[in-house]
Amino acid sequence: MIKVDYVISGELEVNCYFVYDDITQKAIIIDPGQDDETVINKINALNLKPELLINTHGHFDHILADDIIRKKYNIPLAIHKIDLPMLLDSSENASTMIGIPTEIKPAEILFDKEEEKEASFCKYSIIYTPGHTHGSICILMNEFLFSGDTLFCGSIGRTDLPGGGNYQEIIQSLNKLKKLNKKIIVYPGHGPSSTIEQELLNNPFLR
């Protein structure tokens, strides 16, 4: 059975998610944020065996712990190919804005628009959802949608930050998410979880 847990990582309170098989404890980590110690402590508490690290996009608050996590567990990092330059450029990932310019090593796995992928314990879909950044993605695993900073509970991600924010693009991306099963649980990059049904009813950007 696939389970989901999370920690809040860093000053901007990024939700770092752990998707794992409750028998093998194999896990995928999504957006480790800035606080590697908190992430590692949670991995230890759950006795997880990470096999993949995924970034939903390339902004600093989601990626600063990437290199520490991937080195400690000897796992690859995946990101959409369009956001790869954000890892490599502190201006593009906006880490210069907080006074700690950081560059992340290139990702080993590059997603390309809509893709079906497979881990050791589950299959998942990459939904290409530009708008918050040029290469933002959402990740659909079973009945779970990890929406990054594209869709929040009651709101959407900003479109005025480095990395290619575009309001029209994010609205087009939301149109993809509106077509998903209403019972799907939405796990956003910040804030509380929701469902597609709840967002269709209450989120003004999905009406």
- How is the chain classified by DSSP, letter by letter? -EEEEEEEETTTTEEEEEEEETTT-EEEEE---S-HHHHHHHHHHHT-EEEEEE-SS--HHHHTTHHHHHHHHT--EEEEGGGHHHHH-TTTTTGGGGT-----PPPSEEE-SSEEEE-SS-EEEEEE-TTSSTT-EEEEETTEEEEETTEETTEE--SSSTTT--HHHHHHHHHHHHTS-TTPEEEESSS--EEHHHHHHH-GGG-
Residue 109 confidence (pLDDT): 97
CA 168 to CA 103: how far, in whole Å?
Answer: 29
Residue 97 confidence (pLDDT): 87
Residue 190 confidence (pLDDT): 98
Q: Are strands 2-9 and 14-21 parallel, antiparallel or unpaired?
A: antiparallel
> What does residue 111 show for φ and ψ, rounded to 5 degrees?
-80, 155
Residue 128 β-bridge partners: 137
Q: What is the pLDDT along the chain (207 residues), one digit of tens a residue?
A: 899 999 999 899 999 999 999 999 999 999 999 999 999 999 999 999 999 999 999 999 999 999 999 999 999 999 999 999 999 999 999 999 888 899 999 999 999 978 899 999 999 999 999 999 999 999 999 999 999 999 999 999 999 888 888 999 999 999 999 999 999 999 999 999 999 999 999 999 998
* CB distance 2 to 21 below 8 Å: yes
Sign of CA dihedral 51, 55, 58, 63: negative
Question: Which of 61, 55, 65 has its CA nearest to residue 107?
Answer: 55
Is pTM, for the whole model, over 0.75? Answer: yes
CA 189 to CA 201: how far, in whole Å?
Answer: 20
Residue 161 confidence (pLDDT): 84
Domains of the chain: 2-206 (3.60.15.10)
